[in-house]
Amino acid sequence: MGYRVLVDLDKCVGDGDCADVCPVGVFVLQDDHAVAVHPEECLGCESCVEVCESGAIVIEEP
């Protein structure tokens, strides 16, 4: 099983930085917040965690 990509919708401000930085297209923006539409592609690089100023993303290891 792959990584779990969790977005805290109470923290997400929908700036899209995670979608911009993710090398494998895990995120799209829907209704002003990020949704992990392809979590199975996640590489666990944590670039999205580092770029998210709201601290809205948590990557859980398998």
> Which positions touch ligand SF4 (CB under 6 A)?
5, 21-24, 26, 42-48, 59
Residue 23 C-beta: closest distance to ligand SF4, Å: 6
CB closer to ligand SF4 out of 32 and 60: 60
Nearer to ligand SF4 (CB atom), residue 32 or residue 46: 46
User: Shortest distance, CB of residue 32 to ligand SF4, whole angstroms?
Assistant: 19
Alpha-carbon gap, residue 60 to 15, rounded angstroms: 22
User: Is there a contact between 1 and 44 (Cβ–Cβ < 8 Å)?
Assistant: no
How many other CB atoms sit within 10 Å of the CB of residue 4? 13
Beta partners for 7? 57
Query: What is the C-alpha separation between 18 and 13, in angstroms, rounded?
Result: 11
For the bound state, the minimum distance from the C-beta of residue 10 to ligand SF4, rounded and expressed in Å, comes to 19
